Amino acid sequence: MELSPLEMLSIEGCGTGSGFLHHNPEPEIAHFRSWLRLASWKTGRAWLQPRLGIGFAELQVGDDSGGFYFSGVGATGVETAGPEVGASLRLLLPTVGGVEFVGDVGVSGAYFHHAPRLNVPQSSFQPGASLSLGIGF
């Protein structure tokens, strides 16, 4: 989910939904970021917007407990958190009634200092790429 309290700034939280939508034990990364829109160019009927993001991510390799562990792997060794940066290019296509189609392609990188100490060791650097399609209002 992404919310925009200001026109140029948004906050986002996303992940696979592990723990409440499904109980798959595969490693998962959840993202908690702020996005800053750098520009907005009108291209025909649509708007093109480059953005930069900064925040943190949580890497988990099993059922985690509440909270975030930036300085370790939690009591059960299945979770750790660290800083994340990203960039994206968003396309907005207005429709009717203030609704718009949204497309976004992005890249990000998160650093988890304690990831090699998890029960299932992971790399400290976790790159990512994303493609999102949806609607906004």
Domain positions in the chain are 2-136
Residue 73 CA: distances (Å) to CA of 31, 54, 61, 63, 64:
17, 22, 10, 12, 10
Give pLDDT tens digits for 49-92.
999 999 999 999 988 788 999 999 999 999 999 999 999 999 99
pLDDT, position 118: 97
What are the angstrom distances between the C-alpha of 3 and each of 59, 68, 76, 119, 129?
Answer: 23, 22, 33, 34, 21
Q: Rounded distance, CA 52 to CA 89, Å?
A: 9
The pLDDT assigned to 1 comes to: 84
Please choose, from the candidates 52, 122, 115, the residue with its C-alpha nearest in 3D space to the C-alpha of residue 82: 115
pLDDT digits (tens, 9 = 90+) for 9-62: 999 998 877 666 667 767 899 999 999 999 999 999 999 999 999 999 999 998
User: Considering just the CA atoms, what is the radius of gyration of the chain in Å?
Assistant: 17
Alpha helix stretches (DSSP H) within 28-86? none
Distance CA 55, CA 31 (A): 8
pLDDT, mean of residues 106-111: 98
- What token pair was written down for 81? 């958190």
Task: State residue 62's pLDDT score.
Answer: 87
Which pTM value belongs to this model? 0.89
Q: Look-up: residue for tokens 């700034």?
A: 9
Structure tokens at 39: 């520009």
Q: Which of 105, 79, 68 is nearest to 90 (CA)?
A: 105
The confidence score (pLDDT) of residue 19 equals 62
